[in-house]
Amino acid sequence: MSNVLERATSSGQKELALENSRRLKFVLVNEQIAYLTLIYGS
């Protein structure tokens, strides 16, 4: 029973890590776009 719970927890943590890395990439890309806009937009 605890084995099933552990498996669910680990898969949940993997999904969370995946979501976090996706969000981080999104933020980094947005920052790069803002930076380029700042440089070339002025």
pLDDT in tens, the chain (42 residues): 678 778 878 898 999 999 999 999 999 999 999 999 999 987
pTM for the complete prediction? 0.59
pLDDT at 1: 60
pLDDT at 41: 86
- Report residue 42 as tokens: 């002025």
Give the domain range for residue 23: 1-42
CA dihedral 29, 31, 36, 42 (to 10 degrees): 150
pLDDT at 6: 82
Between the CA of residue 13 and those of 9, 16, 18, 20, what are the distances in Å? 6, 5, 8, 10
pLDDT at 5: 75
Number of domains in the chain: 1
